[in-house]
Structure 1
Amino acid sequence: MNNSNVDYSQKVVEMKKITKKFGNFVANDNIDLTVHKGEVHALLGENGAGKSTLMNILYGLYQPTSGEIHINEKLVNIDNPNIAIENGIGMVHQHFMLVQPFTVAQNIILGTEPVKGLGAVNMKKAIEDVKELSEKYGLYVDPTAKVEDITVGMQQRVEILKALYRGAEILILDEPTAVLTPQEINELMQIIRNLTKEGKSVIIITHKLKEIKAAADYCTIIRRGKYIDTVKVSETSEDDLAAMMVGREVNFKVDKDEPKLGDVVLSIKDLLVRDNRKIAAVDGLSLEVRAGEILGIAGIDGNGQSELVEALTGLRKAESGSIKINGHEVINNKPLEMFNKGIKNIPEDRQKRGLILDFTVAENTVLQNYKDPRFSKNGILKMDAIEEHAKMIVDRFDVRPTDYTTKARALSGGNQQKVIIGREVDNIEVSRAATNEPQLLIATQPTRGLDVGAIEFVHSSLVKQRDEGNAVLLVSLELDEVMNVSDRIAVIYEGKIVGIVDGKGADENTLGFMMAGGAEDEQ
């Protein structure tokens, strides 16, 4: 983005020689960051590189071990978020901090409510203020809607408005596109442009190179807690940004041989699954996935993908139809039975469905099979064996930090995902050896929130499972990912498969047309 709104004579943020230690672990090591008025500044780094830690220091959630912070060229001590807000800093966290049963307006004014008469909250004024603010920045929201009833993209707008309502001139967005649809991402880019036109400065914590190129003026790269460089985005290629981020060249194209197809592993026929409103979300769907292939499911969010995966993993009852694994009928089996029959799952929401956040990394690696004789005897866990098993997964899948006694909650989102993928791949290998039957790996949004180096690793892990004769069902909202990884692509629309195309040479326009409900042969 060529941003003419930047005033390079005004430094709104200067972080000088910032170091942050947690015990012996150095999260930030002598990092410098400068942001100017009206600038969009990207903070780029791998999962666990220290990006969020640095911004949590700027917002007052952490205090630096050493270093200085200057806001508008004045030295400040930001020892809590209230001080940050007083200095015009607002932060929108990756996991939103909204009160779900409250309305949009109630969330935005919370703690700074306009009052009337005897101290009663003046909701009429609050709603008017929110409307005025949202129209000014193109952040159109319904002030009276309950937060629990609006989309994730709308919730993000509420968080941005909440910061602006409190007078933010410097806005920190932590992984702002991680949970957005492509349309919502485009809308967010326009919102960021509107903010800079008004003289706001925006810091984006991200590892998505396309969005840095689309939105940012400058980019500071940190790797493993150390400052690498600050570059002008318009003069730096995606390849160069990726190499600086991970310390080596990154291969964006998935290298894979032609698939060696085996027998049908997953067979779905006439499957009917209803959503929470009792509406048919999966509506007479039929599909087959063979050993030795990756079948990608492409579709716009909300077309039955989540309900399909929940039915395949035993988390949602199917009303009718058939689900067979290696010829065995498993429809409406319990989750553990599905697991034992050969279905392994990388879930869509790693925090809700993939991990128990207050368990250690080691404990999370045996969630499904802690009763296995390797890990328990007479109902007592063999912690030494579990920790040895976790050490293997941590080493093999490059989980950081490497301490497997760390609680899962303390890991970055990308490293949480690595724990899940490592666990499921290990489960596949053990089950395959025991049963001599190919396994099905369901990977739903497997790279959401991961940096390019980790994405490359995940994709190669999926291809490895396919090459070892297992079946992989990839469900992703990232069309680039589906096209890059899949051998065949099935397009889902309103709960039905509307067409299947060969992954090699798949055309984005054709797939997009089918995803919108057009038939394959209508183009």
Structure 2
Amino acid sequence: MTVLLEMDRITKQYGTFTANDQVSFSLHEGEIHAIVGENGAGKTTLMRILYGMEQATSGTIRIRGKECQFQNPAAAIQSGIGMVHQHFMLFPSRTVAENIVIGKEPKKGIWFDRRAAAKAVNELSEKYRMSVDANKKVGDCPVGTQQRVEILKVLYNGADIIILDEPTAVLTPLEVGELLVTLKSLAAQGKSIILITHKLHEVMEVADRITVLRSGKITGTMNKADTNVEEISRLMVGRDLVGIKRRERQPGKPILQAEGLFVRGEAGKPLLDNVSFHVNSGEIVGIAGVSGNGQSELIQALTGLLPVDRGTVTLEGKNMTNNTPRSIREAGLAHIPEDRYLWGAAKNSSVKENAMMGHYRKPAFQKAGFLDHKRLNQQVSEWVKSFAVKTESIHERAQNLSGGNLQKVIVAREIGQETPFLIAAEPTRGVDIGAMEFIHQQIMQKRDKGEAVLLISSELTEIMTLSDRILVMYEGKIVGELDTQTATEEEISLLMAGGGH
């Protein structure tokens, strides 16, 4: 195969920290090349250098044998490189067509030609078999469609090399399947794709070659046919993963009980429709469902962030319906939120300040009415160490952390609350396999100590690995309850899609 791109001995240093250390990487025409590695391994830094967002300290980039240096993304785009970022760069109030043609708008005289823009987008979506409605506002499109818009925008700009940074982090299982089909189709039509991801089953499904990074260095490049998930995992984390050991234990008394929860949405359509369930001590109850079927509203109703129109929520026998979030937390609820940026962290605050949220009122962290910073520093440093959070210091701003490392800070903070009940919503979203294993172990330990966990996840394998019982949500209702010992993935998927209900 023809070599399209070469990155030769790329090194990137930030002061004394080396993010990329003599990294060499190549991409063939029509190839899907996955770059995998733990959070902070240097994957995104390498791609930011390729896309002109960062400058390498040393090393060279060659496209079709010609040496290139990109001072900014515009220069990279001119050389046929496009990047789809993890957090989309779209204007929600603008149409799909307007977002795609921005910067290269078709004109009629001096005016923007909307009809020509829509026509160009329709032709592009047909050519690459990526269905979109050119005239729909992006803000009204589901996440999977928004991602398609990002990919079409890159194709509209003439990209031959497409970089996708953690493209499935925000997608439902159905949307993930659609994206993987799209990537294969693009490669078959001659496009070359660099896929940055943690999710090894996706890598094994679509990649032709795989490069593994650990601590800024390459630990291996191999053809997919010559490797397996176990070998890639070992190269990523530097050790064998031990997996989850489930201990048999009898669940105890109910810790959380929800009875007939009803939350009305716009135009009277119920967001939660007569939802009843319980979580016992020593038990993990998983909630499966395609995103947007009431899981978010259920979390918000239980945590006091959304008013309940009818029904009751009790925590250890105390009625907590429509109480304030603070009083619910003080009654014994900890909460790993589904969106770390929206609900879980203050990006402009330090790692320490984010980690102490909810802890600073505790007597253990106070001294004569003031915060005991020595004790807090000690506690946060312990969490950073045990959760392997990659940060220069506990005083570093949270926004400088990778998404996965910020997630680890939030999980450490909430499990550290040591409450009788934990809501774990998408607890491993965007984290690498080493961190995922550790977080799973922490959640399982909580269950084994006799505490109760409600797990909400769009990852079916996570639900099936950790849960004792599985509830399935569809259109604001609980449409099934299954025992993990006997449940099959097909059975759960059918309920998630509204079948059998």
Asked whether the two chains share a fold, i.e. TM above 0.5, the reply is: yes
TM-score with structure 1 setting the length? 0.93
Is 2:63 aligned against 1:52?
no
Residue number in structure 1 paired with 2:236: 245
Q: After superposition, where does 1:443-482 map in structure 2 within 5 Å?
A: 443-482=424-463
Residue number in structure 2 paired with 1:214: 205
Q: Work out whether residues 314 and 338 of structure 1, in 8 Å CA contact, stay in contact via their aligned partners in 2.
A: yes
Q: After superposition, where does 1:418-433 map in structure 2 within 5 Å?
A: 418-428=408-418, 432=419
| Structure 1 residues 226 and 278, CA gap change in structure 2 (3 angstroms) | farther
| Cα separation, 1, equivalents of 2:92 and 2:218 | 38
Residue number in structure 2 paired with 1:389: 379
| Cα separation, 2, equivalents of 1:277 and 1:415 | 40
Q: Work out whether residues 106 and 117 of structure 2, in 8 Å CA contact, stay in contact via their aligned partners in 1.
A: yes
Indicate which of 238, 242, 252 corresponds to 1:262. Answer: 252
What SS class does the counterpart of residue 427 from structure 1 fall into? coil
For 1:190-209, what per-residue CA distance to the aligned partner results, in whole angstroms no more than 9, with x for missing partners?
A: 21122112211000001111
Q: Work out whether residues 287 and 470 of structure 2, in 8 Å CA contact, stay in contact via their aligned partners in 1.
A: yes
Q: After superposition, where does 1:75-154 map in structure 2 within 5 Å?
A: 75-117=67-109, 119-154=110-145
| Cα separation, 2, equivalents of 1:368 and 1:97 | 33
Q: Work out whether residues 173 and 290 of structure 2, in 8 Å CA contact, stay in contact via their aligned partners in 1.
A: no
Indicate which of 9, 34, 41 corresponds to 1:42. Answer: 34
| Structure 1 residues 338 and 75, CA gap change in structure 2 (3 angstroms) | same
Shift of 1:183: 1.5
Is 2:286 aligned against 1:296?
yes
Q: After superposition, where does 1:247-396 map in structure 2 within 5 Å?
A: 247-252=238-243, 254-275=244-265, 278-375=268-365, 381-396=371-386
| Cα separation, 1, equivalents of 2:275 and 2:362 | 35
| Cα separation, 2, equivalents of 1:258 and 1:50 | 40
| Cα separation, 2, equivalents of 1:516 and 1:230 | 38
| Cα separation, 1, equivalents of 2:233 and 2:210 | 12
| Cα separation, 1, equivalents of 2:278 and 2:396 | 40
Q: Work out whether residues 260 and 467 of structure 1, in 8 Å CA contact, stay in contact via their aligned partners in 2.
A: no
Q: Sequence identity, in percent?
A: 47
Moved more, 495-504 or 70-79: 495-504
What SS class does the counterpart of residue 61 from structure 1 fall into? coil
Moved more, 122-131 or 499-508: 499-508
Q: Work out whether residues 271 and 294 of structure 2, in 8 Å CA contact, stay in contact via their aligned partners in 1.
A: yes
Residue number in structure 2 paired with 1:197: 188
Residue number in structure 2 paired with 1:3: none
Q: Work out whether residues 394 and 402 of structure 1, in 8 Å CA contact, stay in contact via their aligned partners in 2.
A: no
Unaligned segments of structure 1, at least 5 residues: 1-7, 433-438
What SS class does the counterpart of residue 505 from structure 1 fall into? coil
| Cα separation, 2, equivalents of 1:277 and 1:139 | 32
Q: Work out whether residues 9 and 23 of structure 2, in 8 Å CA contact, stay in contact via their aligned partners in 1.
A: yes
Residue number in structure 2 paired with 1:183: 174
Indicate which of 414, 434, 442 corresponds to 2:404. Answer: 414
| Structure 1 residues 199 and 499, CA gap change in structure 2 (3 angstroms) | closer
Residue number in structure 1 paired with 2:481: 500
Indicate which of 25, 31, 54 corresponds to 1:62. Answer: 54
| Cα separation, 2, equivalents of 1:274 and 1:247 | 50
Is 2:4 aligned against 1:12?
yes
2:434 maps to amino acid: G
Indicate which of 62, 72, 76 corresponds to 2:64. Answer: 72
| Cα separation, 2, equivalents of 1:473 and 1:65 | 46
| Cα separation, 2, equivalents of 1:377 and 1:371 | 11
For 1:474-523, what per-residue CA distance to the aligned partner results, in whole angstroms no more than 9, with x for missing partners?
A: 01111111111111111222222223222123212222233333458xxx
| Cα separation, 2, equivalents of 1:496 and 1:475 | 15
Indicate which of 485, 490, 493 corresponds to 2:471. Answer: 490
Q: Work out whether residues 361 and 404 of structure 1, in 8 Å CA contact, stay in contact via their aligned partners in 2.
A: yes
| Cα separation, 2, equivalents of 1:459 and 1:308 | 22
For 1:319-349, what per-residue CA distance to the aligned partner results, in whole angstroms no more than 9, with x for missing partners?
A: 0111000000001011111110111101110
What SS class does the counterpart of residue 240 from structure 2 fall into? coil
Is 2:207 aligned against 1:226?
no
Shift of 1:222: 0.3
What SS class does the counterpart of residue 416 from structure 2 fall into? helix
What SS class does the counterpart of residue 249 from structure 1 fall into? coil
Shift of 1:40: 0.5
TM-score with structure 2 setting the length? 0.97
Unaligned segments of structure 2, at least 5 residues: none
What SS class does the counterpart of residue 177 from structure 1 fall into? coil
Shift of 1:395: 1.0
Shift of 1:380: 5.6
Is 2:172 aligned against 1:172?
no
Q: Work out whether residues 387 and 435 of structure 2, in 8 Å CA contact, stay in contact via their aligned partners in 1.
A: no
